[in-house]
Structure 1
Amino acid sequence: MTASPVRIASDALSATIAPMGAELQTLTTGDGAELLWNGDAEWWTGRSPLLFPIIGRAPEDRIAIGDFTAPMAQHGFARRTAFELAGTTATSCRHILRDSEATRAVYPFAFELAQTHALDGATLSVTTKVTNTGTDPMPFGLGFHPAFAWPLPGAADQPHAITLDNGAEPVLARIEDGLLPDSRLPSPFTNGDLMLSHDQFEADAMIFPEGAGNGLRYGPKSGPALQFTFENLPNLALWQKPGAPFLCVEPWHGMAARKDAGHQITDRPGTLTLAPGTAARFSWSVTWRA
């Protein structure tokens, strides 16, 4: 029997979280406006998948850890695996995924992946803790892939922008055949500002390997907006299906495999390796500013 989504609510927002992938399904304002993408299959069925143990593609969709090799689909297996509900309150819930025979067949490690969604007023926080419960060093990448309405509620006729808190102009990377080349392109940001247009995504995601900072604002230059903060997530991507009514704001620790670099997870940019018995924490939050 499939478990039902969990609903949590604050005085300003409500959210539902599905057990499959511990994935956020809705993020709704107090007056009923939906901030999250609805998963319409015409464009993209995802809403806010968790990316683990890889981000992006692997060459020929295969990974290697030492002499071990296995197939691995884009963004890993966590998003397609049911999590267990470990606890819930009126404003928060916690889901856990532990290794199993199925996960060890493609990723030979003992682990615990715990994801918490929590609401505090107009802010949603999503925190993931990765624990190596085994006896071997464990390499992995972890990222978030939430999709938000474009345009935002109440801003249908206004151009939208991304504004980096740090005012930086980070260089741009574009994937080629799903993999990350070593080449970089000039930044599309000017003093931290990027005016968004659908044609920017005709060449797939805009990836910023470094320098985008720990926070940004998404929305029109004046009016309703979403304010993001990131913890332990140094890489950023922006993505949509060109012309789709959503924008993915994706903070990552890790990226797609480098072009021509082989299958080893440890060779992927941004890979972390946890010693046995240790853990790492990753978090993002978003605040609705109507």
Structure 2
Amino acid sequence: MPSSVRIGNQHLAVDVSSIGAEMQALTSDDGRSWLWTGDAAYWTGRSPILFPIVGKAPDDTLAIGGTVYPMAQHGFARRSEFSLAASTPTMCRHELSASAATEAVYPFDFLLTVEHAVEGRALTVAAEVSNRDVRPLPFGLGFHPAFLWPLPGAAGRTHTVTLDNEGEPELLRLEGGLINPVPLPSPFDKGRLVLDHAMFEKDAMIFPKGAGEGLRYGAESGPALRFRFENLPNLALWTKPGAPFLCVEPWHGTAAEAGGSSELSQRPSTTILAPGATARFAFTVEILR
């Protein structure tokens, strides 16, 4: 049976499930909940960890060294049982290691560690991938947290995403769940995007480069969340039109390109990790008000 652990301090409480090492709730000291609840009427996810791929593979199959394996969208980690490796009042660390089940679809020896830690009014979620194999380890790693839209106490207010770098990154769209590599004009204006559900009628908005290392998601003259990203060059924004959440998704890796190779190593922004090496990826979200 899945288990859960709660961490927190005087400002925040965070619940994390052993299934997928997925955050289930983010609550501030005033009782407000910031994370999506996973209502099945829209989407059952809350904050899944994406590994060893981000997004979809052609026909849900992945080629590794010429051999084809089944691979569901966003990989298997989000549905896997993690073990609790360590916990304190303000931190918990979960681990997923290679097994017969993972090797049947991803023939490598690896260790995936996911740590949730609170400090002040901020939560940091960090993932480390260690290559325990004798071969280079190809993979994608992404975060998929969903936050309320509107944010608590901000119903009826305009919500925006503002990039710290004031950039206007090119937009890519999905075609049958795969990346259409033809760039579209950026919806950002000097780093600012006014959110509208109509933007998501064609699925996620993907920004493969140029979104920078931080952003603010918030309501005008209201509550807001500040994000910082570590080793996560790709950004996606997603919701189902009309659903009361917004996913702010920092990635290192994207879906395969439409018409492109099914080889894992050829997917955009794939990490190729040397034997014995470890790579770290993290995001921090801070409640501003």
TM-score bracket for the superposition, by shorter chain length: over 0.9
Q: Tell me which residue corresponds to 1:200.
A: 199
Measured in 2, the distance between the counterparts of 1:82 and 1:68 equals 26
Instruction: Verify: 1:156 aligned to 2:155, yes or no.
Output: yes
Counterpart position of 2:223: 224
Q: CA deviation at 1:65?
A: 0.9
Pairwise mapping of residues 83-102 of structure 1 onto structure 2 (< 5 A)?
Answer: 83-102=82-101
Rounded Cα–Cα distance in structure 2 between residues aligned with 1:88 and 1:124: 15
Q: Which residue of 2 aligns with 1:287?
A: 286
- Write out aligned runs for 1:108-187 (5 A): 108-187=107-186
Match of 1:67 in 2: 66
Q: CA deviation at 1:262?
A: 2.4
- Greater Cα shift, 261-270 or 98-107: 261-270
Q: Deviations over 1:145-178 (max 9, x none)?
A: 0000001112112110000000000010001001
**CA distance in 2 between partners of 1:40 and 1:153 (Å):** 17
Q: Distance in 2 between matches of 1:262 and 1:163?
A: 34
State how far apart, in whole Å, the 1-side matches of 2:153 and 2:260 are: 46
In 1, the alpha carbon distance for the partners of 2:238 and 2:180 equals 18
Deviation, structure 1 residue 3: 3.8
Tell me which residue corresponds to 2:274. Answer: 275
| CA deviation profile, 1:232-286 (whole Å, cap 9, x unmatched) | 0000000001100000000000100011112100110000111110010000000
**Structure 1 runs, 4 residues or longer, greater than 4 Å off:** none
Q: Does 1:250 align with 2:233?
A: no
**Ranges in structure 1 where 5+ consecutive residues have no aligned partner:** none
CA offsets per residue over residues 40-65 of structure 1, 9 Å max, x none?
00000000000000010101110011
Q: 2:236 maps to what in 1?
A: 237
Distance 1:63 1:223 in 2: 44
- Distance in 2, matches of 1:182 and 1:241, equals 22
Summarize deviations over 1:97-138 as a string: whole Å, max 9, x none: 000000000000000000000011100000000000111111
Q: Percent identity?
A: 58
- Counterpart of 2:261 in structure 1 is 262
TM-score between the two structures when normalised by the length of structure 1: 0.99
- Partner residue in 2 for 1:10: 9
Distance 1:211 1:4 in 2: 38
* Residue segments in structure 2 that go unaligned for 5+ positions in a row: none
Report the Cα distance in structure 2 between the residues aligned to 1:223 and 1:20, rounded to whole angstroms. 34
Q: CA RMSD in A?
A: 0.7
Rounded to whole Å, the distance in 2 between the matches of 1:221 and 1:280 is 37
2:265 and 2:249 map into 1 onto residues whose CA distance is 21
> Contact 2:2–2:81 (CA<8 Å) still a contact in 1?
no
CA offset at residue 68 of structure 1?
2.0
2:14 aligned with 1:21: no
Higher strand proportion = 2
Matched residues in 2 for 1:221 and 1:78: separation? 36
User: Secondary structure, in 3 states, of the residue corresponding to 2:173?
Assistant: coil
Conservation of the 8 A alpha-carbon contact between 2:213 and 2:230? yes
Residue 42 of structure 1: aligned partner:
41
Q: Secondary structure at the match of 1:168?
A: coil
Distance apart, 1:182 and its partner CA: 1.8
DSSP 3-state at the match of 2:183 = coil
